[in-house]
């Protein structure tokens, strides 16, 4: 026993070395614990979520796929989406009645068999100035499929509106979420910088940005797209909206969705590179697209994204 104690006895130098090693081990353990704790917080993912939410809040756009609704949409969702488990099929049964789709309350849409998401799309369309002027306009809503429209069509009763000053009524474009103003002076698809600079609030720099965005976009479908141009504030838009127009949609550059590659498609402002890759990959796996509704089969594109890109797409067969 004495030999063992003598063997384990440290001199002064060995004692100092032992304590240094012990302190280093303790410090290493503390640092390792802190690093592990920070990794679990995933700050990058949190920053991404904060950025996405702030973007949708600032633009007022609704991304239904990710459920980032505006305040009005959240209230609407709460109002129409509270259904008891197992009662959904009962609520969507044959509670049909004659109705005017314009400004129809959410509760009545729900009685007609529409889901909360479908109702939110319709109400967002109305908030942007959309109107149903014919029965077929209901069918043009992206959230209304063929089967549902066939069930509702016999019960649609739309009140006729008074004609406009020139005796004709405006027509709503397919998949258009906003009405096009036809009483302006400058066509933003054909004008030059000088014409734009004649508008209040538009200078040399802003006029060039508008024309640049038009080229990247492929042409304007509606005047509301001016608000997407960097530097065009709400105040500036209010100053110029009564003096601009979109009269010729024939010049809009179309994208053949069955021929374009992912890299080129991802350059469009309304599609991210990830969305473009998913669209092309789905086409390569399942064959060419035949209409805009085929994009819903991908399952990752929001209703808003599809509605915005729709006017710029054509579905011609690939000749290769």
Same-domain pairing of 207 and 262? no
d(CA 177, CA 60): 13
- Asked if residue 166 is part of any domain, the answer here is no
CA 320 centroid distance within chain: 33
pLDDT digits (tens, 9 = 90+) for 195-230: 999 998 899 999 999 999 999 999 999 999 999 999
- Asked if residue 207 is part of any domain, the answer here is yes
- Asked if residue 44 is part of any domain, the answer here is no
pLDDT at 53 over 50: yes
Same-domain pairing of 230 and 269? no
- Asked if residue 288 is part of any domain, the answer here is yes
- Asked if residue 190 is part of any domain, the answer here is yes
Q: Which residue has the tokens 């149903």?
A: 132
Same-domain pairing of 113 and 142? yes
The answer to whether 245 and 185 are in contact (CB under 8 A) is yes
DSSP tag of 199: S
Q: What is the pLDDT of residue 236?
A: 92
The SS3 call for residue 102 is coil
The answer to whether 309 and 284 are in contact (CB under 8 A) is no
Same-domain pairing of 84 and 150? yes
Q: At what angle are helices 43-59 and 12-41 packed, to 10 degrees?
A: 30
Q: What is the pLDDT of residue 36?
A: 72
Boundary (domain end) residue, out of 140, 155, 170: 155
Q: What is the pLDDT of residue 40?
A: 52
Same-domain pairing of 225 and 264? no
Structure tokens, 81: 């989406």
d(CA 35, CA 29): 10
Same-domain pairing of 87 and 136? yes
Range of weakest confidence among 28-32, 69-73, 171-175, 251-255: 171-175
Could you tell me the residue range of the domain that residue 267 belongs to? Answer: 255-314
- Asked if residue 62 is part of any domain, the answer here is no
Same-domain pairing of 150 and 192? no
Q: What is the pLDDT of residue 10?
A: 65
CATH of the domain at 219: 1.10.150.320
pLDDT at 61 over 60: no
Same-domain pairing of 240 and 263? no
Task: Compute the average pLDDT of residues 249-262.
Answer: 89
Most confident of the ranges 48-57, 208-217, 246-255: 208-217
Boundary (domain end) residue, out of 105, 138, 155: 155
d(CA 258, CA 142): 21
- Other Cβ atoms less than 10 A from the Cβ of 63: the count is 17
d(CA 184, CA 163): 18
Boundary (domain end) residue, out of 245, 264, 280: 245
- Asked if residue 35 is part of any domain, the answer here is no
Look at the chain and report how many structural domains it folds into.
3
- Asked if residue 192 is part of any domain, the answer here is yes
Same-domain pairing of 264 and 292? yes
> Is the alpha carbon torsion for 176, 178, 181, 186 positive or negative?
negative
Counting residues of the chain whose pLDDT is more than 90, the rounded percentage is 29
């Amino acid at each position: 026993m004495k030999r063992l104690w003598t063997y384990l006895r440290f001199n002064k130098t060995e004692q100092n070395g032992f304590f240094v090693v012990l302190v280093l081990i303790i410090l290493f353990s503390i640092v390792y614990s802190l690093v592990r704790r920070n990794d679990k917080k995933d700050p990058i993912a949190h920053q991404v979520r904060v950025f996405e939410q702030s973007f949708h809040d600032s633009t007022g756009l609704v991304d239904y796929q990710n459920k980032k609704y505006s305040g009005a949409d959240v209230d609407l969702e709460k109002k129409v989406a509270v259904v008891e488990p197992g009662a959904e099929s009962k609520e969507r049964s044959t509670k049909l009645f004659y109705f005017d789709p314009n400004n129809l309350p959410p509760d009545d849409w729900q009685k007609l068999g529409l889901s909360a998401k479908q109702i939110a799309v319709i109400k967002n369309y109305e908030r942007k100035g959309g109107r149903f002027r014919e029965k077929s306009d209901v069918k043009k809503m992206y959230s209304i499929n063929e089967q549902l429209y066939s069930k509702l069509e016999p019960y649609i009763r739309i009140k006729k509106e008074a004609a406009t000053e020139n005796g004709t009524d405006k027509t709503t474009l397919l998949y258009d979420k906003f009405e096009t103003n036809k009483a302006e002076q400058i066509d933003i698809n054909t004008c030059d910088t000088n014409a734009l600079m004649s508008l209040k609030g538009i200078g040399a720099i802003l006029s060039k940005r508008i024309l640049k965005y038009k080229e990247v976009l492929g042409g304007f479908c509606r005047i509301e797209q001016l608000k997407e141009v960097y530097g065009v504030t709400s105040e500036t838009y209010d100053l110029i909206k009564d003096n601009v127009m979109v009269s010729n949609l024939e010049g809009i550059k179309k994208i053949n969705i069955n021929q374009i590659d992912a890299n080129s498609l991802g350059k469009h402002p309304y599609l991210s590179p990830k969305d473009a890759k998913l669209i092309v990959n789905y086409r390569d796996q399942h064959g060419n697209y035949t209409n805009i509704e085929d994009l819903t089969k991908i399952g990752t594109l929001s209703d808003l994204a599809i509605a915005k890109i729709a006017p710029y797409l054509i579905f011609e067969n690939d000749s290769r």
